[in-house]
Amino acid sequence: MSIAFLDGNYLPLEEAKISPMDRGFLFGDGIYEVVPSYAGKMVGFAPHIARMQSGLAAVGIKLDWTEQDWSELCHRLIDENGAGNLGIYLHVSRGADSKRFHAFPETVTPTVFAFAFEIAPAPVADLAQAKAYKVSTNQDLRWDRCHIKSTALLGNVLHFQQGYEKGHGETLLYNANNELTEASACNAFIVKDNVVITPPLDNQLLPGITRHIVLDTLRRDGSIAIEERTVTMDEVHSADEVWITSSSKEIAPVTEIDGVPVGNGQVGNMWLAAQTLFSAGKFDY
């Protein structure tokens, strides 16, 4: 049985109930995070909370929780749910109003909901064990504020579904200029001539915590060149390697795009090098 948190109480997940007038339900008016945790140790807790605080500020949801409050919640959920391989889902909606009206209610108490769910064991930096992804591509038809981790994910859901229906595990997205933005639930990287390249942070993509850890880890190590710059889809299609990153996938190799092999179609050595460094240092974040 999974133990969740809702508005101050810990309770079995199936007993957690919210009002249908909650603006998270009616409008997708909320901010969320997913923090990975292995044997009780979280990866990127502080940057995840910082991103949530800036998301709440960006959409004007006022919640006076400190990093310490979030830490206590996460640790309690980890303990209550067996401290194995867990994703900790954190969700703050603007709250339940008495009417359905687009403007922010003057007085409303945000709804805070959290639960823990089992995730796969952390990826291992091993070419033979790597989980390779086949992906689709689509023009990014979401909104212009993709840097905000909003619970309004219908655009992402529709893009993910487009790939899923073709048997693909993700969908790479590109803007109207044919430039890579990210994937429907991951950031994206390419490797060309041993240089690791990823689109720069702007309103077109989520500032992924895994993306940050990858770049920071490689920068500190110093042996692999990295570039944050615009990536065209032509470059994606002619890349030696393509990776997608997210909290639960860490660095996942992409070996096929729209049915065409990436590079030689095998998981690459640059992935191995990057995932090795990531695995070694991730609990420092």
Closest CA to 285 of 225, 211, 188, 182: 211
Q: Which two tokens stand for residue 169?
A: 């595990």
Q: Which two tokens stand for residue 132?
A: 């390779």
Q: Is 49 in the site for ligand PDD (CB under 6 A)?
A: no
Residue 149 known to be catalytic: yes
The smaller minimum CB distance to ligand PDD, of residues 5 and 45, is found at: 45
Interface with ligand PDD (CB under 6 A), residue from 210, 217, 255, 275:
210
Least Å distance, CB 100 to ligand PDD, is 26
Could you please report the per-residue DSSP string of 6-39?
ETTEEEEGGG----TTBHHHHH--EEEEEEEEET
The smaller minimum CB distance to ligand PDD, of residues 111 and 246, is found at: 246
Site string for ligand PDD, 126-165 (x = CB under 6 A): ------------------------------x---------
Q: Which stretch binds ligand PDD (CB under 6 A): 104-112, 215-223, 243-251, 260-268?
A: 243-251
CA-only gyration radius of the chain, Å: 19
Q: Are strands 250-257 and 133-139 parallel, antiparallel or unpaired?
A: parallel
- Residues that bind ligand PDD (rule: CB under 6 A) add up to a total of 14
Interface with ligand PDD (CB under 6 A), residue from 16, 122, 186, 231:
186
Q: Which two tokens stand for residue 97?
A: 């109003």
Q: Are 37 and 87 in contact (CB under 8 A)?
A: yes
Identify the bridge partners of residue 148 per DSSP, sorted by sequence position. none
Q: What whole-number distance in Å separates Cα of residue 210 and Cα of residue 48?
A: 10
Q: What whole-number distance in Å separates Cα of residue 116 and Cα of residue 149?
A: 18
Q: Which stretch binds ligand PDD (CB under 6 A): 14-22, 55-63, 182-190, 263-271?
A: 182-190
Site string for ligand PDD, 244-283 (x = CB under 6 A): -xxx------------------------------------
Q: Is 206 in the site for ligand PDD (CB under 6 A)?
A: yes
Interface with ligand PDD (CB under 6 A), residue from 81, 136, 150, 187:
187
Closest CA to 247 of 158, 167, 172, 187: 187
Catalytic residue numbers read 149
Q: Which residues here bind ligand PDD, judged by CB under 6 A?
A: 34, 156, 182, 185-187, 206, 208-211, 245-247
